[in-house]
Amino acid sequence: MRFDDPGSLNDVCTQRLGERAGRQFAAMARRGFQLIRPTGRAEATGLCRLGGPALLEPGTLWPEQNGVPLSLHAVLDTDALATWLGTELPVRSGLLNFFYPDPDLPYEDYRRLDLSDSQVCRVIPAHPAQAVVVTAPRPARSYPAVPVYAAEVTMLPDCWDVEDDDVEFDKDQHWGAASLILSEMEDLDGNTAGSHCAFGWPDTSYTLKVSSRDADGPAVHLLQLAEDTELGWGWGDAGTLYFTIPAEALAAGDYRQVVAQALCC
């Protein structure tokens, strides 16, 4: 759920969920962006873009898995995003290059990949002043370069990312906190399904469990890439690709712990 006006978020939550539960749910909001093609007065945000060549520091090897080079899907300019994110971006890493296998790789190359291996995705940071343009080696695919405008939004979690201890609920009426959110917030406009987003909350987290409490702490959502016919990528029927990282790893700037997951209907 997204809000273009952060000031209305608390009012909507308390009106629908009650004073106490509403404040608790509103406190889970995260700042993020919708990544859209610039129109009208909107201009591209820094060096943020989809597709195109990578922007890597000299000497950085192009990432691969089992000998198959990955494809560059997006570049985020964290310096341009930092003002809006504030403390939600604990370390500014300059440019972030997001790599994942091209879903249309030749069969012989695709069968060499292990999609369950953490090395099947890679996020590589680069200092903007040192980064150089690096084109994809074959058989990695080079998508068209599309600069994007990062529209500031405030996002609430999907109902499945809310755990029972997060929000008070009437146990006689609801089987859990997710039931309360699902029933009272279901018709709220502004879901980010089908769009490209950065940070904030992903559009659906039933299997991602971005808020899961584990040894590494809660995960942080870095990037959501929807099917895009103009760019020529997709991950199954209405598929979406998500990149997440443990909060502690993000604070340390350790992008080796990023996990990517493609989900479809």
Name residue 106's amino acid: P
**Greatest CA separation for the chain:** 61
Q: What number of CA atoms fall less than 13 Å from residue 64's CA on the CB side?
A: 15
Mean pLDDT, consecutive 10-residue stretches, the chain (265 aa), reads 75 90 91 90 90 96 90 96 92 92 78 76 96 92 94 87 88 90 75 84 65 60 92 83 92 92 78
Q: Where would I find the beta strands (DSSP E) of the chain?
A: 2-3, 30-36, 49-50, 54-56, 64-65, 68-69, 71-77, 95-100, 122-126, 132-134, 146-147, 149-155, 196-199, 219-226, 240-246, 259-263
What's the pLDDT at 209?
54
Region of 67 (left: φ > 0; alpha: ψ -120 to 50; beta: rest) is left
CA–CA dist 102, 113 (Å, integer): 11
Tokens of 152: 């500031």
Check residue 139 and give its pLDDT: 84
What is the predicted pLDDT for the residue at 83? 94
Q: Of all residues in the chain, what percent are helix, strand and coil, respectively (each to 5)?
A: 20, 30, 50
In the chain, what are the domain boundaries? Answer: 2-263
Tell which CATH classification among 2.30.320, 3.40.1350, 1.20.1250, 3.30.160 matches the domain 2-263. Answer: 2.30.320
Token pair for 203: 């559009």
Kindly give the interhelix angle for 6-17 and 19-26, rounded to the nearest 10 degrees.
140
- The reported pLDDT for the residue numbered 46 is 95
Which residues, other chains included, contact 20 with Cβ-Cβ below 8 Å and sequence gap of 6+? 168
Residue 213 has what pLDDT?
47
Rounded Cα distance, 209 and 185, in Å: 19
List the end-to-end C-alpha distance of the chain, in Å, as a whole number: 19
Task: Provide the token pair at 252.
Answer: 């340390």
Distance CA 232, CA 2 (A): 26
Token pair in block for residue 23: 């404040």
Q: Are 167 and 62 in contact (CB under 8 A)?
A: no
